[in-house]
Amino acid sequence: MEPGELLAEELAAFERALSDALEPQSAYLTEVERAMYRGGKRVRPMLLILAARVSQPAPAHDRPLEEKTIRAAAALEMLHVASLIHDDIVDAAPLRRGAATVGAARGPHVALLVGDLQFVQALRCFASAVSTQRDMTLVRVVLDAGFNLCCGQLDELVATPGATPEARRDQWIRTADRKTSALLGMACETGAMLVNARHRATWALGRYGRLVGRAFQIMDDLRDMVESEARAGKRRGTDLIQGRVTLPLIYAEPDLPVGSPALGVLRGQPVEPHLAARAADDIVATPGFLRAYAEGRQAVVDAVGLLASFPEGPYRAALEAIAYDVVNRQFADDPDPTPTKESADVLAAQR
């Protein structure tokens, strides 16, 4: 059973809670922002709810979750949308998945305030979910996640010319863990906390979420190199144009041809838009591209391994399915790309 089907009742309650949370700011929202809320896959709310479900003792698995858990899931979605709005402002992105961004539609100044409004309202919703002394730590967890999101975004904008490959990889991990993994880890940790799960279970689920987040970021980096604008809703090689040092670029460096425009990114020189496709092709042709993919798969395997201590059943299976879906979805326009022998050897060695 798909996670969405398994959680149909909880997700219906989530949608109602999200609508209630958006109502106080309805006068300030346009169709652009509302479309962002409608278009989400609800991965973070689903993770929070599944973490709550799998953490409960077996006899309690089918009991309705408390309202505070559903409100927390709605708040988490608002926090996610806020981060997307701010990301698009920083990137000056005109489109997100083929639709106009808030910054493009309303200007960066209004978009900044709208994004801030989502952050504040998310915090208000999390605060409303507090009902026990332990729940009080939720506010700290949410603020820590928000802090890490901001730090990750800042880290991503800082190039370090002359850094070693090891130092670049360490910086990439630190950035990804803050920018992407923090919110997924918080989703799982919060779900466990709201049902008073044991600390060990809370830690394991939080770590699971962070590893899935790291794999998600790796796949996002890889997709930027291979997906067309028609499929991705943004120009191919956008990361390179914006000067981002991504994991596939770090691993590709030793095998990039002399004069490749991709090498300039490692020196703090963004790729010119008309050279982005060539730079992406250079990276995809190296063993480093599949090495990054293998690392994403390993992160998912490690994440799923952390679920072994939880009882078997549909909720654990759904968490496993979400993790594997991150790396199993097709991410290239070519449904059957043929890797080089060298790339295949690297992938096999990483398994």
User: Could you list the residue range(s) of the whole structural domain that residue 79 is in?
Assistant: 3-350
Q: How would you label 255-270 residue by residue, b for 16+ Cβ within 10 Å and e otherwise?
A: bbeeebbbbbbbeeeb
Of 36, 35, 72, 69, whose CA–CA distance to 55 is shortest?
69
pLDDT band at 339 (very low <50, low <70, confident <90, very high): very low
Q: In whole angstroms, give the CA distance from residue 277 to residue 261.
A: 10
> Average pLDDT, whole number, for the chain?
86
Q: What are phi and psi of 30, to 5 degrees?
A: -110, 180
Beta-carbon count within 10 A of 87 CB: 18
Residue among 73, 228, 79 nearest 146 (CA): 79
340: DSSP letter: -
Amino acid code (one letter) for 223? R
Helices (H) and strands (E) in the chain, counts: 19, 2
pLDDT value of position 179: 84
pLDDT attached to residue 135:
66
Residue 260 to residue 131: CA distance in whole angstroms: 57
Confidence tier at 219 by pLDDT (50, 70, 90)? very high
CA separation for the pair 40, 80 (Å, rounded): 10
pLDDT at 40: 76
**For the segment 119-177, what is each residue's pLDDT rounded down to a tens digit?**
989 888 888 777 666 666 777 777 788 788 778 777 777 766 667 889 899 999 998 98
Q: How far apart are CA 297 and CA 316, in angstroms?
A: 19
Residue-wise pLDDT for 226-267, tens only, equals: 987 767 667 889 999 988 899 999 999 999 999 999 999 998
pLDDT exceeds 60 at position 345: no
Residue 58 banded pLDDT, cuts 50, 70, 90: low
Nearest to 308 by CA among 298, 319, 296, 293: 319
Q: What is the pLDDT of residue 336?
A: 40
Asked if pLDDT for residue 287 goes beyond 80, the answer is yes
Over pLDDT 70: what percentage of the chain? 87
**Res 347: pLDDT:** 37
- Note the pTM of the prediction, 2 decimals: 0.87
Domain holding 59: CATH number?
1.10.600.10
Q: Do the Cβ atoms of 180 and 216 come closer than 8 Å?
A: yes
List Cβ neighbours of 73 (8 Å cut-off, separation of 6 or more). Answer: 10, 14, 17, 44, 45, 48, 49
Rounded to an integer, the average pLDDT of 13-42 is 91
Question: What percentage of the chain has pLDDT greater than the value 90?
Answer: 58
The domain tally of the chain equals: 1
pLDDT (0 to 100) of residue 64: 83
- Which residues on adjacent β-strands are paired with residue 100? 95
